[in-house]
Structure formats: C-alpha cells, structure tokens
Amino acid sequence: MTTETTNTGEPQPLTYPDGLPESVAPLGDKAVGALRILIPVTSFAAGALIVGWILNPKQFYYSYLFGYVFALDIALGALFWTLIHHVSDAGWSVGLRRVFENINRAILPLTVLFIPVLIGIYSGNLHKWYEFIHKDPSTLAEHEVHLQHVKHVYFSTPFFFARLTLYFGVWILYSTMMRNWSVKQDSIGGATLTRKMQWWAPSGVALLGLTTTFFAFDILMSLQYSWFSTIFGVYFWVGGIRGSLATCVLVVLALRRAGYLQQTITVEHLHDVAKIMFGFVVFWAYIGFSQYFLIWYGNMPEETQFYLLRRNGAWYPMSILLPILYFVVPFFMLLPRAHKRSVRWLAVICTWTLVMHAYDLYWQIMPVLHNDTIHFHYLDVAAPVCMFGVLLLATVWGLQRLPLIPIRDARLGESVGYENETP
C-alpha cells in the first residue's frame, strides 16, 4: 500500500499494487458467523413481539416504540457522524467513515418498521393526544380548550403525515447520497466526489438536526401531549450521537478481533473516538440538567408534569440513578488516558453506553403506560433486541459487499498514518 504525491502537495489516494489487502476487503462469506447469531436472535425477538402484539396490544405498542426509537436514534447518530466528517474535512476519521455509512443503512428498513407505531397511534393504544384532539370541547377544562385547538391543527392527519414524510425523506436522501458517492469514489477515485459530499454535508447537518428534533417532539414528547420542553429534541439526539459512537467502536473492535482493519483503524483512532465520547458524556449531562433546572425553577404545571410522573413508585429511584449511571459512571470510566487506549475498557464502556441509552429511553417512554411504578415486561427486552438486531443486520449487509474503508479517498493516507500527540 503506497501513497502518491503531486507537485501541488495535495493528498492523493492510496494505491494497492498487489490488490486490495484482505484486512480491508469486503467480508463476503466471512460474515456468515455473525449472521448465524444475528438472524436467529432477531427472528426470535420478532416472534416474541408478534405474540405480545396478539396477547397484550397496549404493552406491545409502548415496548415496540421503546425498541424502535432505540435503534433509530443510533442510526441517525451514525448519519450525523458521516455528515460531520465531511463538514469538518477530517482526515484522521476517513477509516471510520465506512462503518458509520453502513450503520445508517438501517434507516431504510426502520422506515418500514415505523408502520406499527402509526397503527398504535391511530388505534388509540399509544399516544393519548389522538383521543384528546377529538374530545368534545364541552368536556374540557377552560385552559384545555385552547390547547386542544392548537394540537388539533398540529396533529391533523395530513400535517402529521407530511412531517413524517419530510423526516424520513431527509434521512433516507442524505444517507443514500453520501453512501452512494462514497462507494462510487471507490471505483473512480479523485477529489470531485469528496468536494460534492463536503458541499452537501452542511445542509444535511442542519436538516438532520431540525427533523430529528421535531420527530422527538411528535413521537416522544407528545406521549404527554400537554407537556412542553424546547430542549427535549437536543436531549433526544445527543443520546443517539453517543449510542452511534459506541456502536461504531464495538463494530470496529469485532472486525479487528476477526483480523480486519488492524493497520487501518488503530488505538490512535480509538483514542480520539473515546475523547469525543467523553465530551458528549458531559454534553448530555449539561442538556439533561438544563432541562430539569429550568423546569424546576419555572415550576409551571404544564412543564413539571414530566418529572412529577417519574417520581411515582420505582420510577423515582430510577430517576435518581439515571444521571449517576449515564453520566458519573462513564465520566470516570473515560477519564483516564489509559482507558481510552485500552481495547477491553472501550468494549466495556461502549456496551455500558448502549445499555444506559436504552435505560434513558425506557425512562422517557414507559412511565406514560405504567404511571404508578415500573412493571417490567418481556416485550421490553424483545423490542430493543429485535430492532438493534435489524440495525446490525443492515450494517453487516453493507460490510459484506463493500470495502471496509473508502479505498480511494484522497485523505486515507492521513488516516492510516495518524497518531495522537504525545501528552
């Protein structure tokens, strides 16, 4: 593997005189081992969901929403990192980009899998705003009449479906464009496609931020239809950003353990990813505290209801433990430099992050169904296992067919030779 240079000093793609190294070639048939685990586990979890749908529809829809949002949030986080790579014109992360591109392949199947959520909404089993906007105004309190009018306009079926079409359309469009251009560059090389991706990426980040924020308002915040929080959208997608980083690292560690990417994604790259993870641990805590503090200080009924609901029964200790488990623990796990450069520590930290991301979403969704205390159900496990399985299957599908890195990206040489500064 050699690097070409020009008189202009611009970076040139790496060349492979002896053919593409096996360590970065598509997995092909070697992915069978992963599929033998993923397909049965995902299928079994899907079967459990179907049984739950028949036996306990109310529980099914909430559990399904929990699992669905868990996987979608991670896929959208991967799209965020793909776009940010191009916005920042990063060199060190070129080798990681293809992993993120493959993770956000899950957006397409997850678009189809959103249908049960819609069925839950319009069957009256999930979001109570649907019942509220159709109530007889004479049965409402005075302060609810105006709220019903506003919600009736906002959640009218045409407007609601138009927003959903926009959300998923933006996500599919940008994830597909970026991935297709990246794959095309593997064949033709050159910097033209790099510049095209860099030109489109800023608008992608802006639209991703807006659509993800309003998706969180429409699907999660509206579970308590009279609750308001302008920062909730940021709280939602920062969890996905953390979850996608953790998923990427775990995929990379699995590939390295299988003999791939040994010289392409090194401890130096993982160290930098861990530093970014550390930063977002603090950012999540800042957003979470900001939301709580402003609501506590304002002490307005339409805002405090969110936290008051989560003070009931076992929800209260779960609320107390959330910042400890999702901020304090990973903060000190990621603080030492040695932990950021240890494969074993990173595996533990990333697994912990994914479990705590699920914990956070469970805390956001399930109190609406079980107001009094926690009522744990087997569907609460089956749903995230099934949806995360779909995400991993989409990722492996891409890893089977494409080189594991962007082999003709002009800045790949910078990534391969990357080293952190000596402290």
pTM, two decimals, is 0.93
**pLDDT of 123:** 83
* Residue 175 neighbours by CB under 8 Å, 6+ apart: 79, 82, 101, 104, 105, 107, 108
Closest CA to 247 of 347, 340, 108: 347
Amino acid letter, 180? N
Burial of 346 (0-12, 13-18, 19+ CB in 10 A): buried
**pLDDT of 12:** 60
* Number of other CB atoms surrounding residue 110 within 10 Å: 24
Decide if 52 contacts 59 (C-beta within 8 A).
Answer: yes
Decide if 94 contacts 186 (C-beta within 8 A).
Answer: no
Structure tokens at 72: 């979608």
Concatenate the DSSP letters of all residues of 143-194 into one string.
HHHHHHHHHHHHT-HHHHHHHHHHHHHHHHHHHHHHHHHHHHHHHH-SSHHH
* Phi (first) and psi of residue 341, to 5 degrees: -110, 5
Alpha-carbon gap, residue 34 to 102, rounded angstroms: 15
Closest CA to 72 of 221, 224, 219: 219
Helices (H), 220-372: 232-257, 267-298, 301-309, 315-323, 329-334, 337-340, 343-365
**pLDDT of 14:** 59
* Phi (first) and psi of residue 15, to 5 degrees: -115, 155
**pLDDT of 10:** 55
pLDDT tens digits in sequence order for the chain, 423 residues long: 544 444 444 556 656 654 567 778 888 888 888 999 999 999 999 999 999 999 999 999 999 999 999 999 999 999 999 999 999 998 899 999 999 999 999 999 999 999 999 999 888 778 777 667 666 666 666 666 767 777 778 888 899 999 999 999 999 999 999 999 999 999 888 888 999 999 999 999 999 999 999 999 999 998 988 888 889 999 999 999 999 999 999 999 999 999 999 888 999 999 999 999 999 999 999 999 999 999 998 888 878 999 999 999 999 999 999 999 999 999 999 999 999 999 999 999 999 999 999 999 999 999 999 999 999 999 999 999 999 999 999 999 999 999 999 988 888 888 888 887 655
**pLDDT of 109:** 97
